Amino acid sequence: MAIPLLRDFDIRGKSVLVREDLNVPLEDGRVTNGARVDAALPTIRHCMAAGARVVLVSHLGRPRPGERDPALSLKPVANALGDALGCTVPLVDDWKNGIDVGWADVALLENIRFEAGETANDPALAQRLAALCDVFVMDAFGTAHRAHASTVGVAEAAPAACAGPLLAAELRALGRVLDDPARPLVAVVGGAKVSTKLAVLESLTRVADLIIVGGGIANTFLLASGVTIGASLAEPDQVDVARRIMSQVEVPLPVDVMTAAAIDAGLSARLRLRGEVESDEMILDVGPETARRLSDIVAKAGTVLFNGPLGVFELDQFGEGTRVLAEAIASADAYSVAGGGDTLAAIEKYGVAEGMSYRSTGGGAFLEYLAGETLPAVAVLEGRTAPYRK
């Protein structure tokens, strides 16, 4: 799709409003994981270096619309940004009458979800945001699936609107996977339920050469194949869906699994061959032979999409399948894209983040894009004029 890009704009002397996804975890007033802050820095530095007045907008958590929850203030994020940028980043709570920002300076609006009309895409709030800028820059892929005032409404109301470098990079990476992948394309889809990723699985059957399933999703596919899964998490009402997917694309099922009587950090994992799971046991990971076979598959892939762990990786005794597969993806020659909170947590845990070709910052947006859905905050940028092009 053709959308205006920030790199093509001359923003010197302009006021720029940048929507970033700074929805980060906090503890005791400090940012505990700054990945999203780090991801936003290149865009912010670009705008500052270009001599623009820079105003950032983001949400944090899910406060009640119109209520200011001190626990969800962006003050810790402003501090983290200031440390990273080497300057003071003021947090602006009252911006009804505009913001005084100097050339090449940056300010951060307080949590935009404190405003009553944000999630309802209120036109009045969108107009207030648009009044802060000459150019609106949508750079928050993680919120691109939400039609909110700070993502869609302002893009419609601003004098000019474009995609920032982070959003553009996300779209390029996913486009490379879905539109013109190097073959074979191997998709790894893990998670608890088929129903939550049904649209993704259905979409991937049309582009993937092979789909590796993990977690509760794999259990449902085993059940659909007539395999005994004991007390494992599964969705019996989705077995017909699983059978349909297996009829359309290759889905290698586990040949061995790791089980326990419950999800408990103190329990030892038991190795079982497929079909030999006891009635009181839960499948919590794939076994070593399955992990080896799956690693061989990704080693020969041209493209790998990684969305979801193979087991309960938070517990070490049920994380070996995910670890082995993540390491295989990281060491493969394939172009690899990893996305989703659990996936990123797993690759960080096993120290393989740098081996991934691209790590997506999106959660829900990542899944909706994979499912072929239109992202409202991307669609609104199509056809926008670019009066400040270089």
The predicted-structure confidence for 321-338, as pLDDT tens digits, reads as follows 999 999 999 999 999 999
**Does 385 score more than 70 pLDDT?**
no
Check if the beta carbon of residue 346 is closer than 8 Å to that of residue 298: no
How many Cβ atoms sit within 10 Å of the Cβ of residue 179?
8
How many Cβ atoms sit within 10 Å of the Cβ of residue 314?
15
Given the residues 82, 302, 364, 372, the one annotated as active site: 364
Cα–Cα distance for residue pair 196/192, rounded to 1 Å: 8
Check if the beta carbon of residue 43 is closer than 8 Å to that of residue 20: yes
Sign of the Cα torsion 269, 274, 278, 284 reads positive
Decide if 68 is catalytic: no
Q: Half-sphere exposure (CA, 13 Å, Cβ side) for 270?
A: 17
Sort 120 into a burial class: Cβ within 10 Å, 0-12 / 13-18 / 19+: middle
For the chain, what is the mean pLDDT? Answer: 94
Beta bridge partners of 250: 210
pLDDT for res 104: 85
Residue 388: which pLDDT band, with cuts at 50, 70 and 90? low
pLDDT for res 262: 85
pTM to 2 decimal places: 0.90
Residue with tokens 């474009």: 162
Decide if 164 is catalytic: no
DSSP H helical ranges for 158-303: 165-178, 198-204, 215-224, 239-248, 288-299
Decide if 14 is catalytic: no
Decide if 364 is catalytic: yes
pLDDT for res 194: 81
Residue 387: which pLDDT band, with cuts at 50, 70 and 90? low
Residue 1: which pLDDT band, with cuts at 50, 70 and 90? low
374: Cβ–Cβ under 8 A, 6 or more apart, which residues? none
Given the residues 75, 193, 293, 349, the one annotated as active site: 193
**Does 389 score more than 70 pLDDT?**
no
DSSP percent split of the chain into helix, strand, coil, nearest 5? 40, 15, 45
Given the residues 341, 351, 383, 389, the one annotated as active site: 341
